[in-house]
Amino acid sequence: MRRAACLAAAATVVAAGLLLRLPRWPLPLPIHHYGGGVLWGAMLLFLVAALRPPRWHRRACVIASCLLAALIEASRLVHAPALDVFRRTLPGELLLGRIFSVWNLLAYALGIAVAAPLIRSHLREHDGAVTPP
């Protein structure tokens, strides 16, 4: 996918995530909570693909997305007053979350795995990035 298409995909996934999370739908918790995690993982991959350095291919984007997801999830184990205050806000909860969970990591990985085929590794970008077939 071209960078603009990756940004558009990320924005679409954000909209879907907000639609899933913000209204009080009568959905089972796994769909409500982990569905948001799957969408968050996909959004993260699309953002990494859009902002990637030249010559990064799909595999590098997937690895970077998984590492970022793990770091962000692990950041929930860090408690500082200002960070905890931010986590209690809607943007803080949506971006960072509040409670560490290995299950969240699995949801993010699933989202990354589902989105990965959408990033076409065989396209050449205008910025000179060449990706392997």
Greater confidence (10 vs 32) lies with: 10
Query: What pLDDT shows up at residue 94?
Result: 79
Query: What pLDDT shows up at residue 127?
Result: 45
Greater confidence (39 vs 54) lies with: 39
Query: What pLDDT shows up at residue 51?
Result: 94
* Confidence at 91, pLDDT banded by 50, 70, 90: confident
Distance CA 26, CA 131 (A): 43
- Phi, psi values for residue 122, rounded to 5°: -90, -5
pLDDT for 113 beyond 90: yes
Domain boundaries, the chain: 3-118
pLDDT for 122 beyond 80: no
Distance CA 118, CA 48 (A): 13
pLDDT for 125 beyond 50: no
Distance CA 35, CA 43 (A): 12
Distance CA 76, CA 129 (A): 34
